[in-house]
Amino acid sequence: MKINCAVFDFDGTLFDSMFVWDTAGEDYLRSMGKTPGPSIREDLQTMSLLQAAEHFKTAYGVELTADEIIDGINKTVGDHYLNDILPKPGAERFLGEMKERGIPMCIATATDRCLIEAALKRCKLDGYFDAVFTCGEVGHSKNEPVIFRKAMEHFGADRESTLVFEDALHAARTAKADGFRVIAVYDPSETQQTELRSICGFCLENYENTENFWKYASAL
């Protein structure tokens, strides 16, 4: 089967950047004089930035607009995207393998476009991707399949010929339930590895040994 579209999540899938978000929400709340609740990390894990902003307004009484809160969060994490987060080992080589095979690629992420584009450009990976889709721009988190559908439609592909690469269970579950072929990418930030692997067609442990992935892909 010809692969007509490869949709990559960014944080934890292509880049080793999940550490940036581990404390971003609580750091932002503390900067606003608020005390984060004990479940703040779990609360934010599946939210888009817009949903997180609305949560801060309703749950913590942050008296700013959603856009102002998003700007504040982006400033909290922005330096990492501009200066130090890096692709996962072997990621660039894997993207090169995709490109050599003529497979179009895009990003689908909950992180804002400005941060994604800055990191891709700094690491000279921007040329591999034809488009970047963000949850903020499509208006839905990855608890809904809208962003994956937008990516697929951009390339004129269908679910059978689209591969979705995800490290997070909630996003992989959404794509799988909507009929997409999902590739799990290992990242230690996802603690429910057994369930993630059980719903995905293949698991990439890393990008440094991709031979088995290409055997899997060629058999589709």
Q: Is the pLDDT of residue 114 over 70?
A: yes
Confidence of residue 107 (pLDDT cuts 50, 70, 90): very high
CA atoms of 218 and 167, how far apart (whole Å): 22
Among the candidates 59, 83, 107, a domain finishes at 83
Sign of CA dihedral 26, 28, 31, 34: negative
Residues 136 and 92 both lie in one domain: yes
* Per-residue pLDDT tens over the stretch 25-72: 888 899 889 898 888 888 887 888 888 889 999 999 998 998 898 888
Residue 39 sits in a domain whose CATH number is: 1.10.150
* Per-residue pLDDT tens over the stretch 171-198: 999 999 999 999 999 999 998 999 999 9
Between 90 and 2, residue with greater pLDDT: 90
> Which residues, 6 or more positions from 165, have their beta carbon under 8 angstroms from its beta carbon?
6, 7, 8, 9, 13, 14, 182, 183, 185, 204
Our count of domains for the chain comes to 2
Confidence of residue 202 (pLDDT cuts 50, 70, 90): very high
Residues 56 and 136 both lie in one domain: no
Residues 191 and 95 both lie in one domain: yes
pLDDT value at position 74? 85
Residues 152 and 203 both lie in one domain: yes
Residues 78 and 149 both lie in one domain: no
Residues 46 and 78 both lie in one domain: yes
Q: Is the pLDDT of residue 1 over 70?
A: no
Q: Is the pLDDT of residue 106 over 70?
A: yes
Residues 78 and 98 both lie in one domain: no
Contact, 182 vs 166, CB < 8 A? yes
Residue 144 sits in a domain whose CATH number is: 3.40.50.1000
Residues 97 and 182 both lie in one domain: yes
Q: Is the pLDDT of residue 199 over 90?
A: yes
pLDDT value at position 120? 97
pTM score, two decimals?
0.90
Residues 133 and 78 both lie in one domain: no
Q: Which domain holds residue 75?
A: 19-83
